[in-house]
Amino acid sequence: MSAADFDVAVIGYGPAGATLANLLGHYGLSTVVLEKDADIYPLPRAIHFDGEVMRVFESAGLRPAVETVSRPGLTGMHFNNAQGETLLIRGGTHARGQHGCATNHYFHQPELETVLRAGVQRFANVQVRTRHEVTAIEDREDSASLSVKDLATGSTSRINARYVVGCDGARSLVRKELGSPLTDLGLHQPWLVFDLRLKEGAATRLPDHTVQHCDPVRPMTYCNVTGNRRRFEIMLMPGDDLAQLVKPETLWQLVGRWVSPEQADIERAVIYTFHSVIAQGWRRGRLLLAGDAAHQTPPFLGQGMCAAVRDASNLAWKLDAVVRGRASDALLDTYETERSPHVHAFIDLAVKLGGIIQTTDPQAARERDAKFKAGQPTIFEFPAPGLGAGLWHGQAPPAAQIFPQPELADGRLLDQAIGLNFALIGRPDLLAQASETTRQRWRAHATVVLPATDPQILAWLHANQVSAVLLRPDRYIAGVARNAAELEQISQCLAQLGAAHSSDVEATLKP
């Protein structure tokens, strides 16, 4: 047995673990990533992320690289009935949305994971150990101890870490250790996921936009992914022969009205059960959950991986604050209270959309169609829920919601100007009124103070009838202020971090 000590151990090296490792690398925390597989899973899985997720990748210094393996989704998502009539359209599809990038992006997961893992290699403080399986976890008072088997040699070692984050998927060992039950949100449905690669020069009847075929005979989803990649998701029906369903001749029959074997090659066909669940208990002691270990959503909004990346963004700065003694260990309890209601809102909408798509009763489908066809196609906007209870002040919204990212007058995007820090943005006359105690709080937490002179930021302040806004490192709003008294109040969010500060920092926070 050998011992190694780290600030954070990340179990699992999929998108959640790799994003978290990149962010922890930027923060300078000693980190070890443990992954039982030897390499990236080579076949398609997740295919969509949104503008907020691109913003997280940007914060990790990876946006240019991610843009090389993804494409902006500018043609939207249409919900069509069996006759091809559009009932419902997902709105909010913009080339430059509120996050300073396209609202939606499509990608091939192995290519994205390659970019994320290459990013981790920038950091000497992050070690990655593939073919290392965690077999047991002991949560102790001073650290968490992991028993780890090297699958290449068969040897076993022990790794100690101040905190362990289980990014280890739906069958999470860390969740089992926590004993966290799963709350069922109402959808468990098997679907066939069928990925194609179009042949060069092939002319098909496939549209550029994503289509939810709300056909009661056989509900389907079609997605234009990247390059020549296309995906069909096909709902299983009573009486389906699963072995027969995945055979090429059956697959081509199911999609024959759009594409034929002369036009495309099959990349994979696999049956998944779409789940909608949230774990109760994302943290106990030094153990935490993220990604599919904490929640699973049906794919009708393309939010499975997005939720995992948001977890990493919420958790990374909190781990940094706690490990470095700038915050109490209790700060980590806000991770679940903030994130669980947020992801719940996305899962609820995905389940609702699934109910529209998965209608198989012909009469119910006719009634659904008539309801939607009473007017023009209904447009629903992409949700933007706020955080649950946690480290923020005031009445939401706009507190607890993510702040938009404009381009500043000097050509930089906002996040490039503030880095992975707290940021106070306000009218210069209000900032000048801050007390010395408040200024000390800003300095103690490396808060970037940015006078609001950019027209877009001034417009946001005006629209929300405030004069200053305090942003957290994950770009969510910690509070807003209209006057000097409220500026003092929102700065108390920083003081809340101080429960376990070192004595020299505590001294700067005393009135």
How is 67-121 classified by DSSP, letter by letter? HHTEEE--S-EEEEETTS-EEEEE----SS-TTSS-SEEEE-HHHHHHHHHHHHT
The whole-angstrom distance between residue 505's C-alpha and the CA centroid of its chain comes to 33
* Number of compact structural domains in the chain: 2
User: Is 375 within the bounds of a domain?
Assistant: no
Q: Where are the alpha helices (DSSP H) in 330-450?
A: 333-357, 362-372, 414-418, 428-431, 436-444
- The reply to whether 165 and 300 lie within a common domain is yes
Question: Are 177 and 302 in a shared domain?
Answer: yes
Q: Which residue has the tokens 């151990």?
A: 9
Instruction: Establish if 447 belongs to a structural domain.
Output: yes
Q: Are 479 and 471 in contact (CB under 8 A)?
A: no
Q: Mean pLDDT of residues grouped by 10 in the chain (511 residues)?
A: 76 98 97 97 94 96 97 90 91 83 95 98 98 96 94 96 97 96 92 96 90 96 95 95 94 96 96 94 97 95 95 97 92 97 95 93 94 79 89 89 92 92 94 90 87 92 96 96 93 68 27 21
CB-CB contact of 137 with 146 (8 Å): yes
Phi, psi of 270 (to 5 degrees): -145, 150
Are 171 and 289 found together in one domain? yes
Same domain flag for 310 and 459: no
Measure the CA–CA gap between 319 and 321, rounded to whole angstroms.
Answer: 5
pLDDT of residue 378: 81
300 shares a domain with 421? no
Q: What is the CATH number of the domain that holds 329?
A: 3.50.50.60
How many CA atoms lie less than 13 Å away from 56 in the CB half-sphere? 30
Number of helices and strands in the chain (H, E): 16, 24
Does a structural domain hold residue 205? no
Token code pair at residue 241: 């022969």
Are 302 and 421 in the same domain?
no
Grouping H, G, I as helix, E, B as strand and the rest as coil, residue 2 is coil
Tokens of 428: 């210069």
Tokens of 277: 């669940």
Q: 328 lies in a domain?
A: yes
Q: What is the pLDDT of residue 382?
A: 79
Mark which of 315, 334, 353 sits at the end of a domain. Answer: 334
Amino acid at site 252: W
Spell out the long-range contacts of 94-99 with Cβ–Cβ below 8 A and sequence spacing 24 or more: 97/51, 98/51, 98/404, 98/405, 99/51, 99/52, 99/54, 99/55, 99/402, 99/404, 99/405
Q: What is the CATH number of the domain that holds 498?
A: 3.40.30.120
- Virtual CA dihedral for 467, 470, 471, 477, nearest 10 degrees? -80
Say how far apart CA 160 and CA 48 lie, in whole Å. 35
Residue 457 lies in domain: 414-509
**Looking at the domain assignment, is residue 492 inside a domain?**
yes
Structure tokens at 64: 């240019």
Residue 394: per-residue pLDDT: 87
Q: DSSP class of residue 124?
A: T
How far is the C-alpha of 55 from the C-alpha of 484, rounded, in Å? 31
pLDDT of residue 443: 86
What CA–CA distance (Å, rounded) separates 266 from 268? Answer: 6
Among candidate residues 289, 317, 334, the one where a domain is terminated: 334
Cα 94-95-99 angle, rounded to 5 deg: 80
Cβ burial of 252 (10 Å; 0-12, 13-18, 19+) is: middle
Q: What is the enclosing helix (H) or strand (E) of 276?
A: strand 264-279
Token pair for residue 506? 């505590």
Alpha helices in 358-502 (DSSP H): 362-372, 414-418, 428-431, 436-444, 455-463, 484-496
Point out the domain boundary residue: 334, 360, 380. 334
Distance CA 145, CA 138 (A): 5
In a domain, 426, yes or no: yes
Residues 323 and 439 in one domain: no
Q: What is the pLDDT of residue 506?
A: 28
pLDDT, residue 4, reads: 56
Query: What pLDDT does 504 receive?
Result: 29
109 located within any domain? yes
* Contacts for 31 with CB less than 8 Å, ≥ 6 apart: 6, 7, 8, 9, 10, 21, 24, 25, 123, 125, 126, 127
Separation between Cα atoms, residue 293 and residue 167, nearest integer Å: 6
Strands 31-35 and 3-11: parallel
Quick one: 172 and 282 in the same domain?
A: yes
Amino acid of residue 290: A
Transcribe 283-316 into DSSP letters. EETTEEE-GGGTEE--GGGS-HHHHHHHHHHHHH
Distance CA 336, CA 323 (A): 18
Cβ atoms of 200 and 345 closer than 8 Å: no
Q: Are residues 56 and 172 in the same domain?
A: yes
Q: Which pLDDT value is given to residue 502? A: 30
Q: Does 313 lie in the same domain as 440?
A: no
Are 421 and 327 found together in one domain?
Answer: no
314 and 444 co-located in one domain: no
Q: In whole angstroms, give the CA distance from residue 505 to residue 471.
A: 21
Q: Does some domain include residue 395? A: no
